[in-house]
């Protein structure tokens, strides 16, 4: 099967990759929707991850939101793995047109990918909700920039310019996806001759619905568990995605 996949990749002219949390787990970034992620959240906070990364929770419980967010969703020590590096190599070789990702960790860009469509935003972009000033990840992780509602040292990052709350540019539950990014993802997938879906079970909508726009020749699924598109796939591989793509590309 590895040789068959390698042949498909070498003969394709316009590959698009659509990935989720499983792409980054090999870099040590946990999937917060996994059983372990749910357990950690409930043990530490008594709530589900979905509740704590909702917009209403961000609005009403900012200190707890940022404590959870910084502890469980931000991993500045993580490095790209063979999946990220393989996709960057395919793009460099002119065969991969776009990476469409549900991840917010920025590891595709760190590996060298240029055309990355981040459906759920990025931890590396953060903006003041009052004046719009941009702040990078290092800024919001620095305790010297974080104050609670009483003005004491806390978890909530405050704008260097106006003192307002700095919100990560990530799509929270109850928020809509960026329409421009979504449209670009639809266009990329619709125009692909090969679509690789990796590290996602395709259960989170609306992102998971993007696969329905694909009309190309090869639909390849690389995921450890079943997905909602298994019956459409030309090839299904249940091995770790970094191992699979690294063996074909690097």
From-to residues of CATH 3.40.50.1220 in the chain: 1-29+77-120+176-250
Query: Which burial class, exposed, middle or buried, applies to 4 when counting CB atoms under 10 A from its CB (0-12, 13-18, 19+)?
Result: middle
| Average pLDDT taken over every residue of the chain | 94
CA angle 71, 136, 24 (to 5 degrees): 50
- pLDDT of 34: 61
Pairing of strands 116-118, 153-157: unpaired
CA distance 150 to 236: 54
User: Does 218 qualify as catalytic in the annotation?
Assistant: no
Q: Does residue 39 surpass a pLDDT of 80? A: no
Q: Does residue 32 surpass a pLDDT of 90? A: no
> What residues form DSSP beta bridges with 119?
none
Q: 71: Cβ–Cβ under 8 A, 6 or more apart, which residues?
A: 44
Specify whether domain 1-29+77-120+176-250 bears CATH 3.40.50.1220: yes
- pLDDT of 237: 96
CA distance 197 to 211: 9
- pLDDT of 135: 98
| Domain 122-170 class, CATH top level | alpha beta
Read off the pTM.
0.94
From-to residues of CATH 3.30.1600.10 in the chain: 122-170
- Which of 84, 108, 120, 218 is an active site residue? 120
Token code pair at residue 23: 């792409």
């Amino acid at each position: 099967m590895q040789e068959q996949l390698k042949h498909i990749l070498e003969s394709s002219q316009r590959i698009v990759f659509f990935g989720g949390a499983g792409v980054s787990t090999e870099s040590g970034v946990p999937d917060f929707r996994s059983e372990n992620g749910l357990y950690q959240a409930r043990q530490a906070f008594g709530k589900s991850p979905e509740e704590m990364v909702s917009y209403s929770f961000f609005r009403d419980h900012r200190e707890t939101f940022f404590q959870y967010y910084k502890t469980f969703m931000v991993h500045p020590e993580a490095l790209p793995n063979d999946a990220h590096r393989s996709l960057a190599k395919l793009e460099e070789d002119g065969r991969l047109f776009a990476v469409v990702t549900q991840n917010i960790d920025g590891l595709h860009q760190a590996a060298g990918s240029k055309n990355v469509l981040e459906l759920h935003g990025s931890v590396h972009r953060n903006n003041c909700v009052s004046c719009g000033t941009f702040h990078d990840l290092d800024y919001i992780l620095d305790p010297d920039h974080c104050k609670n509602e009483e003005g004491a040292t806390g978890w909530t990052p405050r704008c260097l310019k106006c003192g307002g709350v700095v919100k990560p540019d990530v799509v929270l539950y109850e928020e809509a996806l960026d329409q421009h990014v979504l449209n670009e993802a639809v266009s990329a997938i619709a125009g692909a001759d090969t679509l690789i879906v990796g590290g996602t079970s395709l259960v989170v909508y609306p992102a998971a619905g993007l696969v329905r726009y694909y009309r190309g020749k090869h639909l390849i699924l690389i995921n450890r568990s079943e997905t909602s598109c298994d019956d459409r796939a030309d090839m299904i591989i249940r091995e770790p995605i970094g191992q699979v793509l690294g063996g074909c590309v690097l």
